[in-house]
């Protein structure tokens, strides 16, 4: 008999922010599937489960199909409901039932660290994709939250804003969020040259001032 496939959101990274429900599911799993970084994060709570490092999705799909009678847990970064592996899994295993446990997203975490709420911000991702975030920013109430990558980083984002005549918005950058070497930097767009970028992936808020 096939069992439900479980998807657990890891949170921003540090295990302190993994929910108890998610941790329990990982501990009870027979097979744990995730990327190398995600699996490294949960290594300390594994109990001799079979660990599958996810690289090629087609190979992972074949592996899962061979093991549907076992308790399988997928570990994904952050929120299971935002640009998540869950979409692929639902399409790949349409006859399967799922147990989904969301994690704390990196943008939720960053807003908590700067003691602000985010209900009036627009959320979009430029991680491996393009979005017209300047238009979204202009049409927003308070600003935009961006999940970034190496190409679409805070420096390039600031340059693009300046090209469009936006000089006084505040940029808030969260790097290595939840870890001991976490860095949160705030500066006005016009001062972007003073920003010392440490890491490639981060969360960037463009705030109207």
* 15-61 pLDDT, tens digit each: 999 999 999 999 999 999 999 989 999 999 999 999 999 999 999 99
Residues 127, 53, single domain; the answer is no
Percent over 90 (pLDDT), the chain: 82
CA angle, 194 then 153 then 177, to 5°:
85
Confidence of residue 200 (pLDDT cuts 50, 70, 90): low
* pLDDT at 198 exceeding the cut of 80: no
CA distance readout (Å), 146 to 29, 131, 179, 196: 33, 10, 20, 18
Residues 9, 98, single domain; the answer is yes
pLDDT digits (tens, 9 = 90+) for 84-132: 899 999 999 999 999 999 999 999 999 999 999 999 999 998 887 778 9
Q: The CATH number of the domain where 86 resides is what?
A: 3.40.1010.10
Domain residue limits at 190: 107-207
* pLDDT at 166 exceeding the cut of 80: yes
Is the separation of the CB atoms in 192 and 167 below 8 Å?
A: no
Residues 84, 166, single domain; the answer is no
Residues 186, 200, single domain; the answer is yes
Classify 136 in phi/psi space as left (phi over 0), alpha (psi -120 to 50) or beta: alpha
Please tell me the predicted confidence (pLDDT) of residue 30.
97
| Burial status of residue 119 (CB atoms within 10 A of its CB: 0-12, 13-18, 19 or more) | exposed
Kindly provide the residue ranges of all beta strands, DSSP E only, lying in the chain, ordered along the sequence. 5-9, 31-34, 50-53, 72-76, 98-101, 121-125, 143-147, 170-175, 183-188, 202-207
State the Cα–Cα distance between residues 208 and 142, nearest whole angstrom: 5
Please tell me the predicted confidence (pLDDT) of residue 55.
93
- Output the average pLDDT for the chain: 93
Instruction: With 0.85 as the threshold, say if the pTM is over it.
Output: yes
Count how many Cα atoms sit within 13 Å of the Cα of residue 66 in the half-sphere of its side chain: 8
> Where does a domain end: 88, 104, 120?
104
Residue 149: CB partners within 8 Å, gap ≥ 6? 126, 127, 128, 200, 201
Q: How many domains does the chain have?
A: 2
Confidence of residue 78 (pLDDT cuts 50, 70, 90): confident
Residues 85, 112, single domain; the answer is no
114 three-class SS: coil
* pLDDT at 83 exceeding the cut of 70: yes
Please tell me the predicted confidence (pLDDT) of residue 199.
66
């Amino acid at each position: 008999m096939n069992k439900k496939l479980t998807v657990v959101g890891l949170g921003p990274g540090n295990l302190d922010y993994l929910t108890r429900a998610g941790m329990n599911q990982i501990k009870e799993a027979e097979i744990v599937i995730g990327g190398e970084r995600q699996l490294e994060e949960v290594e300390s709570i594994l109990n001799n489960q079979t660990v599958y490092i996810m690289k090629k999705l087609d190979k992972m799909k074949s592996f899962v199909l061979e093991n549907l009678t076992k308790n399988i847990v997928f570990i994904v970064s952050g929120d299971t409901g935002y640009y998540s592996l869950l979409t692929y899994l639902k399409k790949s295993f349409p006859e399967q039932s799922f147990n989904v446990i969301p994690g704390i997203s990196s943008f939720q975490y960053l807003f908590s660290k700067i003691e602000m709420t985010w209900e009036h911000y627009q959320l979009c991702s430029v991680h491996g994709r393009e979005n017209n975030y300047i238009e979204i920013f202009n049409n927003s109430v308070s600003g935009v939250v961006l999940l970034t990558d190496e190409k679409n980083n805070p420096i390039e984002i600031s340059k693009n804003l300046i090209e469009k005549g936006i000089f006084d918005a505040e940029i808030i950058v969260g790097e290595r969020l939840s870890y001991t070497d976490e860095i949160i930097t705030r500066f006005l767009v016009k001062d972007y040259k003073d920003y010392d970028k440490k890491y490639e992936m981060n969360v960037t808020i463009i705030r109207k001032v």
